[in-house]
Amino acid sequence: MAILKVAQLGHPVLRHPAAPVPKELIGGPELEQLIEDMIDTVREYDGVGLAAPQVHASVQLVVIECRGDKPGREAIPLTVLLNPRFVETSKEVASDWEGCLSVGDLRGLVPRSLRVVVEALDRAGETVTLKAEGLFARVLQHEIDHLHGVIFLDRMEDLRPLAFAREFSRYWLGPKADEPEPEPE
């Protein structure tokens, strides 16, 4: 078990497009170790997703999991995706709050497609097609953006709904205070 250091905004690795994982490396000890360490890391920091460039590995690999242990927060089973790409993204968009393990404790309101279809390889190298909506669709868009050097701040239409976690809880949850705080991705 290893908790990896998470690159913070300003580190160039977060802005580089990540390389596809070569098929011959899938299932090998080096990639499996990276996947296990990323799972340990995202759990340690209470995130719902982590992309390999965030741990200084510029390859197309993301890990997503939400235990659903907060009220109103849907669970997402542990999902490991290699070389993911969007097959479909809905034109219908909704804005919701996001955070990022690479962006300190800032929270921002980000528009995302409500539904997506993603094609990827699983950790065994099998092709998988995922249909997702809601939180899962949002996290997929956030993580796959990381593989292309895109940070959630780039997706905000307006930087005014950007807040530190403490101020977010205090001033932005408001009447919807029963909504859970976003976990960083």
Q: Which is nearer to Ni ion, 96 or 170 (CB)?
A: 96
State the nearest-atom distance from the C-beta of 67 to Ni ion, in Å: 18
Please return the burial class of 23, using the count of CB atoms within 10 Å of its CB with bins 0-12, 13-18 and 19+: exposed
Residue nearest to Ni ion (CB): 100
CA angle 73, 121, 6 (to 5 degrees): 55
**139 lies in the binding site for Ni ion (CB under 5 A):** no
* Catalytic position from the list 65, 98, 143, 183: 143
Which residue in the set 63, 100, 116, 118 belongs to the binding site for Ni ion (CB under 5 A)?
Answer: 100
User: Which span (3-11, 71-79, 96-104, 119-127) binds Ni ion, by CB under 5 A?
Assistant: 96-104
**62 lies in the binding site for Ni ion (CB under 5 A):** no
CA angle 134, 39, 34 (to 5 degrees): 125
User: Which span (24-32, 80-88, 97-105, 113-121) binds Ni ion, by CB under 5 A?
Assistant: 97-105
CA dist., res. 70 & res. 15, Å (int) = 32
| Residues between 166 and 185 that touch Ni ion (CB under 5 A) | 185
Q: Catalytic residue at 24?
A: no
Q: Which is nearer to Ni ion, 104 or 125 (CB)?
A: 104
Q: Number of residues in contact with Ni ion, rule: CB under 5 A?
A: 2
Q: Which is nearer to Ni ion, 64 or 100 (CB)?
A: 100
State the nearest-atom distance from the C-beta of 97 to Ni ion, in Å: 13
Point out the residues that are catalytic.
143
Where do contacts with Ni ion occur on this chain (CB under 5 A)? 100, 185
